């Protein structure tokens, strides 16, 4: 009877080994299921990342277009302002030139008048000095005559 039980014991051991292998395979199947879920999640995340990257690229292109438009508008406005400022500076320069010319003419007239007055004063002074010199010469001549006359009398 023991000999008949031995194949049953071997079968039991084999069944136990098969049960262990089945348990391990079930555990591996569970791990594989979890991995498959993670892979699906990773795929979903990848798709979301690709969509987000596409949206970011689109937004960046739109922003670049808007920035380009704003830059062109600003450049146009700056050009307009520069042209206006140039025109205003030119107008101011012409006005200042006219004012400076008028001031120069007025200054020239004033200098001419001052020179004429100074010449008149110098002429007057010269005439007065000449008159005084004439008077001094006349007085000296008379003194000399008086001295000669006095010397002659002596």
Provide the pLDDT for residue 3.
Answer: 65
Q: Is 36 exposed, middle or buried (0-12, 13-18, 19+ CB in 10 A)?
A: exposed
Number of Cβ within 10 Å of residue 49's Cβ equals 10
Q: What is the 3-state secondary structure (H, E, C) of the chain?
A: CHHHHHHHHHHHHHHHHHHHHHHHHHHHHHHHHHHHHHHHHHHHHHHHHHHHHHHHHHHHHHHHHHHHHHHHHHHHHHHHHHHHHHHHHHHHHHHHHHHHHHHHHHHHHHHHHHHHHHHHHHHHHHHHHHHHHHHHHHHHHHHHHHHHHHHHHC
Provide the pLDDT for residue 2.
Answer: 58
Burial call 68-79: b when 16+ CB within 10 Å, e when fewer = eeeeeeeeeeee
pTM given for the model:
0.33
pLDDT digits (tens, 9 = 90+) for 70-92: 888 888 888 888 888 888 888 88
Residue 4 falls within a domain, yes or no? Answer: yes
pLDDT digits (tens, 9 = 90+) for 27-65: 888 888 888 888 888 888 888 888 888 888 888 888 888
Domain count, the chain: 1
Residue 149 falls within a domain, yes or no? Answer: no
Domain carrying residue 72: 1-115
- Is the pLDDT at 150 greater than 60? The verdict is yes
% the chain with pLDDT above 70: 96
pLDDT digits (tens, 9 = 90+) for 93-126: 888 888 888 888 888 888 888 888 888 888 888 8
Residue 14 falls within a domain, yes or no? Answer: yes
């Amino acid at each position: 009877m023991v000999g008949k039980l031995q194949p049953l014991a071997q079968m039991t051991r084999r069944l136990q080994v098969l049960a262990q292998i089945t348990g391990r395979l079930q555990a591996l199947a569970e791990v594989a299921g979890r991995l498959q879920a993670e892979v699906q999640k990773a795929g979903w995340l990848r798709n979301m990342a690709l969509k987000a990257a596409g949206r970011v690229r689109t937004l960046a292109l739109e922003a670049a277009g808007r920035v380009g438009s704003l830059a062109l508008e600003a450049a146009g406005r700056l050009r307009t302002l520069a042209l206006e400022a140039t025109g205003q500076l030119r107008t101011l320069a012409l006005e200042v030139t006219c004012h400076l010319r008028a001031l120069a003419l007025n200054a020239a007239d004033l200098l001419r008048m001052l020179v004429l007055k100074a010449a008149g004063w110098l002429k007057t002074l010269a005439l007065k000095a000449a008159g005084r010199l004439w008077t001094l010469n006349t007085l000296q001549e008379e003194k000399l005559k008086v001295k000669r006359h006095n010397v002659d009398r002596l």
